[in-house]
Amino acid sequence: MAFRTKRSDVIWNYVGTVVSMASGFVLLPLLMRFLSGDELGLWYVYIAVANLAMLFEFGFTPTFARNIVYVVSGARHLTATGHDLGSKEDGVDWHLLNTVIRTSKLIYAAIAGLTFILLSSIGTVYISYITSDLNDGLHWASWILFCISIVLNLYFLYSITTLRGYGDVAGENQAKTIAKISQLIISGLLLILGFGLLGASIGYFVNSVVLRGYSLVRMRHHKNLEQGRAGDLRPITFGEIRTILATISHLAWRDGIVQLALYVSTQATSILCSLFLTLEQTGTYSVILQLATAASNFAAAYPRSFFPAMQSAYAENDVKQQRYIISTGIVAYWSLYLLGTIGVAVVILPLLPLLKPGTQVDYALYLMLSLYMALLQQHSICCNYIISMNEIPYLRGYLFAAVFGCSLVAFLCGVLHIGAWGIILGQAISQIIYNNWRWPQYLSHKLGTTYISLFEIGVDAWQGKLMNRFK
């Protein structure tokens, strides 16, 4: 069956994005009010470590989800790259679907176990190093709870993966929305009650439990798929699992390296800050980064809603539909990003000194960071469309940008001592050299057109939508 993104998918994707942003904006003043400068900086280091740990799934989440889409769309044979049009039939191969999902469960269990070992050893040594001046032992309790949350998140990733594979964008974002609201309520109450960093960590733990629990419940709503799977009584052999793993791993590990490189280009800056700046300075920079990331995620929510539909259109070999999805997504992204960036600069940034007296807001730094994030997110979206075609040509480009960017950051911050500006400029220069322009161009070429033509198609499509809406 062909997937078509429903209005509810788009709406819930935005609800999830807005709630995630809003929860961050609501939680931010509480964090700034009830945590010391050092604790705030440590919290954002926790978040950066959590984001890094989630990369240990190493590309399996989008790869498993994409292949579940292919199977549900009628594929009878999965390929390492591209797709086998000759194997497509009507209906679903339930045994193949069960095998893919079972394989995902085993992989995530192994990843969760490995992550626990790394966090409890290397992670603990790192936290010990950067908190040597802190006398409050509660940060260790918060760190332990944070580690448990990360391991749970990784183990239950198969539930989110399956929902994506079912094309249930609405269900995935419902889970994220309820989990974020739960975290906000619990963290807010505990911060007000004086639990400090431990209270924030408890809220993060609640988020993990609620997110995975709701996802498992939501899977049961897809009765036709779940009943079809239940009707397959054939035992899954080790050989079948090994075959699926070999097929999926071909792109998964490459996507994992790409995600790691992307992490280095974004969230890892908080860890870099902790090496070159004080914890308090790290906290200030991380707040600006959070706001720029929020605007970026807000803008990217629309095109991301259509990733399952894009994968399905590719499986159906519907090039016209692929062009339409991509062109409308690109125009929506840039329009929303401009709106979000201006909104943060005009509404949010002036409030920060009021929330925490003494906070210095560097508007030029924020705008530069926003420009960097805008271009980074644009080619990231294009790369997500490319991988929907079951290929990853951008691996080397991402690796080069990550390595060169970190080296340039170390030079600008460690030698020239230009602070947060060095972190932004080092990463931005590394992306402008190649990735920012290459992958939009590559995607356009794959579809037999140009990026400008795609943009023009998108503008025309949105004009038509708006004219029809206001007739």
Q: Which range in 128-132, 137-141, 172-176, 258-262 is most confidently predicted, on average pLDDT?
A: 172-176
Q: Which two tokens stand for residue 15?
A: 């609800």
**pLDDT above 70 as % of the chain:** 90
Question: Does position 105 have pLDDT exceeding 70, yes or no?
Answer: yes
The single-letter DSSP state of residue 81 is: S
Confidence of residue 341 (pLDDT cuts 50, 70, 90): very high
Q: Do residues 61 and 161 lie in contact, with contact meaning Cβ atoms separated by under 8 Å?
A: yes
Q: Which amino acid is at 142?
A: S
pLDDT value at residue 22 = 67
Residue with tokens 């332990």: 144
Domain boundaries, the chain: 7-466
User: What would the two tokens of residue 389 be?
Assistant: 């075609």
What gap in Å lies between CA 401 and CA 411, rounded to an integer?
A: 15
Q: Give the three-class secondary structure for 126.
A: helix
pLDDT at residue number 180: 87
CA atoms 409, 410, 411, 417: torsion sign: positive
**Which two three-digit tokens encode residue 42?**
């440590």
Q: Which residues of 444-455 are buried (b: 16+ CB within 10 A; e: fewer)?
A: bebbebebeebb
Backbone angles phi, psi at 372, to 5 degrees: -60, -45
Q: Residue 3 pLDDT > 70, yes or no?
A: no
Q: What are phi and psi of 318, to 5 degrees?
A: -100, 85
Is residue 84 pLDDT above 60, yes or no?
no
Q: How far apart are CA 83 and CA 88, in angstroms?
A: 9
Does 85 have pLDDT greater than 60? no
Q: Residue 122 has what DSSP assignment?
A: I
Tokens 């990735």, residue located? 435
User: Nearest 5 degrees, angle CA 433-CA 434-CA 435?
Assistant: 125
**Mean per-residue pLDDT, 335-342:** 93
The four Cα atoms 161, 167, 171, 174 give a dihedral, to 10 degrees, of 80
**For residues 421 and 283, is the Cβ–Cβ distance under 8 A?**
no
Amino acid at 261: A
Q: Which whole number is the average pLDDT over 372-398?
A: 90
Q: Would you tell me how many other CB atoms lie within 10 Å of the CB of residue 394?
A: 24
Q: Is the pTM of this model over 0.85?
A: no
pLDDT digits (tens, 9 = 90+) for 357-374: 767 778 888 999 999 999
What's the pLDDT band for 470 if we cut at 50, 70, 90? low
pLDDT at 327 over 70: yes
pLDDT surpasses 60 at 98: yes
- Of residues 9 and 82, more confidently modeled: 9
Summarize the confidence of residues 449-464 as an average pLDDT: 91
449 three-state secondary structure: coil
What's the DSSP call for residue 76? S
The whole-number pLDDT of residue 326 equals: 93
Band (pLDDT 50/70/90 cuts) for residue 21 is low
**Is 59:261 a contact under the CB 8 Å cutoff?**
no
CA–CA separation, 160 vs 8, rounded Å?
A: 18
